[in-house]
Structure 1
Amino acid sequence: MKLNLDEMTIDELKELREKLIKDYRVFRFNKMLGQLENTLKIRETRRNIARVNTILREYELGIRKKKNKEEV
């Protein structure tokens, strides 16, 4: 799953993080039940959550400048 995180606003990133966390929980649950065929999804989702968290933290620290919806 290719994400264009640089083009997203802060609100979109927060929504994406919540969605990824839900997906991660579902993948882990399905793995426990033996229903998850592609276990690579767990690792990819966990790394995508980390990417989103990193970008959100950069906004908090002022490393990245906040974008308005008009700029995107």
Structure 2
Amino acid sequence: MAAGQYGPVSPGRVDQVVPFDLVDAVLEETRCVQRRLRDLPTRVAVYFLLAMRLFPEVGSVSAPPW
């Protein structure tokens, strides 16, 4: 089994830990369900933000030193 970034809980597999039903329930409870089709669906944005917070070292871009 792979370890690190490509392990069982990698940024690409956050949906295995946080199921779609849970994300949809939270979006509905907070009244943040999208009302129209967008390029980036709300559920995808939630998973993206979760991955950014859980794995800050993966794919982060630091600001230039100037």
State if a TM-score over 0.5 links the two structures. Answer: no
Calculate the TM-score normalised by the size of structure 1: 0.29
Larger relative contact order (C-alpha < 8 A, sep ≥ 6)?
1
Output the TM-score relative to the length of structure 2.
0.31
Structure with more helix by fraction: 1
